[in-house]
């Protein structure tokens, strides 16, 4: 099998069908129909008769995929440290290679030097998203946005270098864990002469097909997590997330804050149901604010109990995270992690918290500062990792991610 065919759509599908063999013979026509939809991400949710594994998300476009893409079930985040000798020209070479890999893999095609090409044939809505840390932007010649720096130190932080920082972010997500593992490996292999792997964070959400589309995730505390989130492809979302600065290398880009938050399930489990709901300000049953009935009801912070106390306590996460300043808003896209426990613990569980916004300092930091000052949930959560990345815009076929700063 040649891995270097020109990217003719028809040839590509035939080859996939050939490689997948008889197993998908019956859905060949459906898969071919699905290929026409790749430029329209919101339609990429599988029709019932279609295998989810054949679904693709367009790679090329004015903005990178993997931000407003309906969230996939599995994700990996890799923080890389550039080798000392890597200069601007080398960064451009690196990003051309990674862009080529990502453009192929996301469409269910093997990477150019794919060592396990058959594992590439199930894209399962794969996206690959790249982000740059301060050192990457410095070597690329800048300019560096003011917010592209480590977050201010918060008193609740117990940051471990093993989970923090990074010059280059490679973020891989798909509905299939083998797809994530394979794409990650192909991409990371191509970074080896340019960078060292500093950290790996692997996370999951509900599987594809487990719940109806659009149900808000529950984290491993059992909380409905992410209710107040702008809706992709609305003006509101654009204003929160996408940088609008024509002429800048970050026009149509965004920023990503990744916080690794350890959840102390041992002590959380000792808290009763009412205590948990007080700490969050929402019911556990359906995530409604304690003053409401449905998940998306607007909280009434003025409502009081017969004794005169606020129904939604001042120390609750919901109250502290909320701002009257319309600029202090973020888009959350988070994953759970659950690793083997050490030292007698049942598990090592937590959240890979992802916050996207135009401006970290203006939007994310004030919220985090309020939560740092007071948030009852801090009793059971500990930030152990923190990174900030600038996510450049997308690119057209033939271009590469980062061409605005490296080209």
Residues numbered 54 to 73 that lie near its own copies (CB under 8 A) are: 73
- Does 346 bind its own copies (CB under 8 A)? Our answer is yes
3-state secondary structure of 196: strand
Supply the Cα-derived Rg of the chain in whole angstroms.
22
* Closer of 3 and 370 to its own copies (Cβ): 3
DSSP 3-state assignment of 322?
A: coil
What minimum distance in Å lies between the beta carbon of 53 and its own copies? 3
CB of 191 to its own copies, least distance (A): 9
State the Cα–Cα distance between residues 246 and 242, nearest whole angstrom: 12
CA–CA separation, 181 and 189 (whole Å): 12
Q: Cis omega (within 30 of 0) on the bond before 85?
A: no
Residue position matching structure tokens 């948030």 = 375
Q: Which of 61, 177, 226, 399 binds its own copies (CB under 8 A)?
A: 177
376: left (phi over 0), alpha (psi -120 to 50) or beta: alpha
Total residues in contact with its own copies, by rule CB under 8 A: 74
Please state the closest distance from residue 248 (CB atom) to its own copies, in A.
Answer: 33
> Taking the complex as a whole, how short is the minimal distance between the CB of residue 150 and its own copies, in angstroms?
22
Residue 347 binds its own copies, judged by CB under 8 A: yes
Q: How far is the CB of 403 from its own copies (least distance, A)?
A: 26
Beta bridge partners of 337: 350
- Show contacts with its own copies in window 302-341 (CB under 8 A): 336, 338-341
Contact region for its own copies (CB under 8 A) — 198-206, 247-255, 317-325, 383-391? 198-206
Per CB under 8 A, contacts with its own copies among 254-273 are 265, 268-269
- The reply to whether 222 sits near its own copies by the rule CB under 8 A is yes
Q: Which residues contact residue 22 at a Cβ distance below 8 angstroms, ignoring those fewer than 6 apart?
A: none
Smallest separation (angstroms) from its own copies to the CB of 404: 29
Q: Which two tokens stand for residue 180?
A: 């994530």
368: exposed, middle or buried (C-beta count within 10 Å: 0-12, 13-18, 19+)? Answer: buried
Examine residue 176 and tell whether it contacts its own copies (CB under 8 A): yes
Report in angstroms how near the CB of residue 197 gets to its own copies at its nearest.
6
Site for its own copies in 202-221 (CB under 8 A): 202, 204-212, 214-215, 218, 220-221
Toward its own copies, which CB reaches closer, 155 or 342? 342
Nearer to its own copies, 197 or 384 (CB): 197
Asked if 399 is part of the footprint of its own copies (rule: CB under 8 A), the reply reads no
Longest dimension (CA), the chain: 75
74 binds its own copies (CB under 8 A): yes
H-assigned helices in 24-171: 28-35, 88-105, 134-140
Q: Whose Cβ is closer to its own copies: residue 13's or residue 220's?
A: 220
Subset of residues 359 to 388 that bind its own copies, contact rule: CB under 8 A: none
Using the structure block, give the residue that is written with the tokens 């059992």: 222
Cα distances from 24 to residues 30, 176, 179, 336, in angstroms, run: 10, 17, 17, 32
Q: How far apart are CA 401 and CA 187, in angstroms?
A: 14
Interface with its own copies includes 188 (CB under 8 A)?
A: yes
Residues from 85 through 144 that contact its own copies (CB under 8 A): 115-119, 122, 124
For the CB of residue 338, give the shortest distance to its own copies in the complex, in Å. Answer: 4
The DSSP H or E segment spanning 276 is helix 273-280
């Amino acid at each position: 099998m040649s891995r270097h065919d020109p990217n003719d759509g028809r040839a590509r599908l035939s080859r996939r069908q050939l490689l997948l063999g008889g197993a998908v013979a019956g859905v060949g026509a459906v898969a071919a129909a699905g290929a026409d939809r790749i430029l329209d991400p919101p339609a990429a949710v599988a029709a019932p008769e279609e295998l989810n594994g054949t679904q693709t998300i367009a790679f090329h476009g004015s903005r990178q995929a993997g931000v407003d893409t309906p969230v996939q079930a599995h994700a990996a985040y890799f923080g890389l440290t550039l080798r000392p000798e890597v200069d601007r020209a080398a960064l451009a070479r690196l990003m051309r290679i990674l862009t080529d890999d990502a453009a192929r893999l996301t469409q269910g095609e093997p990477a150019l030097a794919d060592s396990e090409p058959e594992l590439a044939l199930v894209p399962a809505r794969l996206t690959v998203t790249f982000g740059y840390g301060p050192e990457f932007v410095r070597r690329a010649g800048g300019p560096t946005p003011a917010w592209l720096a480590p977050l201010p130190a918060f008193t609740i932080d117990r940051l471990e270098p093993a989970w923090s920082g990074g010059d280059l972010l490679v973020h891989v997500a798909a509905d299939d864990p083998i797809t994530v593992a394979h794409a990650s490996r192909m991409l990371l292999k191509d970074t080896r002469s340019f960078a060292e792997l500093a950290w790996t964070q692997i996370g999951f959400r509900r599987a594809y097909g487990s719940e109806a589309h659009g149900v808000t995730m529950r984290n491993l505390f059992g909380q409905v997590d992410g209710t107040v989130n702008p809706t992709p492809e609305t003006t509101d979302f654009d204003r929160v997330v996408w940088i609008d600065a024509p002429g800048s290398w970050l026009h149509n880009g965004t920023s990503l804050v990744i916080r690794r938050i350890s959840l102390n399930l041992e002590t959380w489990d000792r808290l009763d149901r009412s205590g948990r709901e007080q700490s969050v300000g929402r019911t556990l049953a359906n995530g409604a604010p304690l003053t409401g009935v449905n998940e998306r009801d607007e909280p009434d912070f003025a409502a009081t109990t017969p004794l005169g106390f606020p129904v939604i306590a001042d120390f609750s996460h919901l109250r502290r995270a909320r701002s009257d300043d319309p600029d202090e808003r973020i888009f959350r896209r988070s994953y759970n992690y659950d690793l083997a426990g050490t030292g007698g613990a049942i598990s090592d569980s937590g959240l890979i918290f992802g916050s996207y916004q135009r401006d970290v300092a203006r939007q994310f930091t004030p919220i985090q500062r309020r939560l740092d000052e007071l948030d009852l949930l801090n009793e059971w959560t500990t930030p152990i990792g923190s990174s900030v990345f600038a996510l450049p815009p997308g690119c057209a076929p033939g271009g590469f991610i980062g061409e605005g700063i490296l080209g």
